[in-house]
Chains A and B, each alone.
Chain A
Amino acid sequence: MNSAHAGFPRGGVHPAEGKELSLGPEVVPVEAPAKVLVQVTQHLGKPSKVAVQKGDAVRVGQVLATADGPISAPVHSPVSGKVVKVADVPVVGALQGACIEIANDSKNEGAEEFARRPVIDWSASGTFLGRIRDAGIVGMGGAAFPTAVKLSPPGDARVDCLVLNGCECEPYLTADDTLMRSRPQDVLAGAVIMASILKVGRILVGIEENKPQAISALTAEALGRGYSFSFVGEAPTPEIVVVPLRTRYPQGAEKQLIDALLKRRVGSGKLPFSAGVVVQNVATAVAAYEAVALGKPLFERVVTVSGGAVNRPGNYRVKVGTTLSALVEAAGGTKENLKAMIAGGPMMGKSLRALDAPVTKAFSGLLLLDDREARSFVETDCIRCGRCVEACPMGLSPCEITALAEFSQWESAVGCGALDCVECGSCQYVCPARRHLVARIRLTKLFWRRMKK
């Protein structure tokens, strides 16, 4: 627990990491299956509009759905083939969602365009933001907020620092770690591109100390600054500092990371802009680099497949739209003692009932947990031990909020700060009474929204 490195000031937990399971030597590419299901809306914001019809032939990288309005993002085809239909199917995070089904002809027509030598033309840096927007890039850490919007701060914001989020504080997940170790140059190139859009001269990379190889790879890169790609024009030279952080969940939450790196507080209900910071995930940085240097839209990503119930845990490069069942097949299938399936990390991920949903841009990991890892508990009464208060990184009293929520006292619960809850689950993780704290806070937020209407 004791560490020389900085961290966020209060709360947090340190669950068993379980990262060694999936930390293989390299990323394994997965061929797209014969049938891919590309979800129409894969971001937070206004739904995208379908731009193809049944029977259309599509190429790799072709636009399947266009952005509708400023807070939206387009979606591109990960394969070449024919559009079979647009239908509602089960998706991650919702019972059903519209998906474009494509019959993959496995010819990968159009993919050669993205395999050429990458070139960054710094003299045309004014076009970078547009390229990132057109590439359909969204926050790949999980929130899926359109990156171009995050890179366009409001007029009154004075942004002086870009924070690159390489914390990956969720147990089991190693996708970002693998990316940082295998492609440190691309991570930093993406960061420099985003810094040039924001016109900031300082980049801080926050990485937890349990990823020493990622830290050393990025540090060496930041010092050496040798680029693998050719570039035209004068490259900007922002100051890049790689900061090792004390391993503690939820370090990767925006507000906690900003506090840990810069000792700046983002107020209740405020965005990082207000503290002069923009936070971007490392995988997003790589996607931004590929969009600018290759014109490559976001249609594939690295996904961790891990857990005690999967035969070949590891990191896989998969096309967006690959069904989870195809992904599991690529990972060698599941063992008999499979108990729970989770999209994302075990702390904040979403429980899955079936593997028919497709991989999306913000899908960071698939956990297949065995009966030892996923145990269910019986909820008992609160014993007022206060451990949830100690664990809360936002300084709330989860026990108090949920006690009020149990009696439908939504207004008082919101008065106790329920809206500041980031639903990280630290309180529930430490609760000896196994209280369903997060679920009750979610209910509070729901009823509060209904009351406001």
Chain B
Amino acid sequence: MEILEATLFLALLAGLLSVMLVVASRRFAVEEDPLIGQVNETLPQYNCGACGFPGCSGFAGHVVASRDPNAVCIPGGPELARRIGALLGMEVKVTAPTAAHVFCKGTNGVAVAAGEYIGLKSCIAADLVNAATKECPSGCLGLGSCVDACQFGAIRIIDGIAEIVEDKCVACAKCVAACPRNLIRMEPKGSKVCVECSTKGRGAAVKKYCQVGCIKCMLCVKNCPEKAIALVNETIVIDHARCKRHFQCIAVCPQKCILAIQLEVPELSKAEGGEA
């Protein structure tokens, strides 16, 4: 008898609550643009935050609501931009794919080491106490703050410097913000010619702390047929849009700090050892 009573009571309660739930879900339903769901489904779901919105769904909500043509899912690339454009029936800005690049090649042995760092293994923490692993004031500390910041496993520390695995890099730029020495910049994905040094020092001072440090001799700037190389804010920068791959800079660089990335460098007439 008691069992029957309890069962009946619970069944009644369940029935009542289910009715309440049904009513509530009908009355308080939030209408969401079905487009948001569709856009969200096309997104990579990395939740990397490169777009500046909280996660992929946040980005989907924003583009659908504002139809902002400048809102771009960077990891998605041009392919995704076209699909979102088709869904929303509008032109979406298509950007050339980029990838992070570390502007330091001062590996152990090449860059002069500066004592033993025994503190917390984090470049940011080391930088806070002006500790360093190398004498170069703008060399890669190699303690892996960028590695910790990368959720795609696209960075590794090899021989004391950070290196980006371009295939894995989705260009979220988290590492750019994590590097206390601002050694990482976003560059066009794929082949390019880069000055692999970030020091602001000049001449003999640089030679004291690194074998491949840029000494600001300006030979690359003078010898570039396309005038694509310039001294910007005390570092040499190559304008990739203007670079026509003459490789003259690589041939003349006395420090061998200009490298061709994913490119075959032909035999260079001027070179005294032109291979990069």
Contacts and interface: CB of A to CB of B under 8 A. Distances in A.
Interface of A: 93-96, 350-351, 353, 376-377, 379, 436, 439-440, 442-443, 446
A443 B128 CA distance: 8
Contact of A350 (B114, B130, B135): B130
16 contacts: A93-B130, A95-B130, A95-B132, A95-B137, A350-B129, A353-B115, A376-B118, A379-B120, A439-B128, A440-B120, A442-B125, A442-B128, A442-B129, A443-B122, A443-B125, A443-B128
Contact of A94 (B118, B125, B130, B135): B130
B131 interface: yes
Contacts of B137: 95-96
Interface string B71-108: 00000000000000000000000000000000000000
Given A95-B137, A443-B125, A446-B124, A353 B132 contact: yes
B119 A436 contact: yes
Contacts of B128: 439, 442-443, 446
Contact of B124 (A377, A379, A443): A443
Interface of B: 114-116, 118-120, 122, 124-125, 128-132, 135, 137
A165 to B, nearest CB: 24
A353 B114 CA distance: 7
Given A376-B116, A377-B118, A443-B124, 9 more contacts: A95-B130, A95-B132, A353-B114, A376-B118, A436-B125, A439-B120, A439-B128, A443-B120, A446-B124
A147 B116 CA distance: 37
A442 B126 CA distance: 10
Contacts of A376: 116, 118
Contacts of A377: 118
A179 B122 CA distance: 40
Nearest to A375: B118
Contacts of A95: 130, 132, 137
A439 B135 CA distance: 21
Given A94-B130, A95-B137, A96-B137, A440 B125 contact: yes
Contacts of B118: 376-377
A94 B128 CA distance: 9
A450 B176 CA distance: 15
What are the nearest 5 A-B pairs in CB distance? Answer: A436-B120, A439-B120, A376-B118, A439-B125, A95-B137
A439 B119 contact: yes
A379 B128 CA distance: 19
Contacts of A442: 125, 128-129
A440 B124 CA distance: 10
Contacts of B131: 351, 353
Contacts of A351: 129, 131
A124 to B, nearest CB: 43
Nearest to A379: B120
Contacts of B114: 353
Nearest to B125: A439
Q: Quick one: which of B118, B129, B131 has the most chain A CB within 10 A? A: B118
B202 to A, nearest CB: 12
Contacts of A379: 120
Contacts of B132: 95, 353
A436 B143 CA distance: 15
A377 B115 CA distance: 16
Contacts of A94: 130
A446 B129 CA distance: 12
A413 B119 CA distance: 20
A96 B201 CA distance: 12
Contacts of A96: 137
Nearest to B138: A95
A353 B130 CA distance: 10
Contacts of A439: 119-120, 122, 125, 128-129
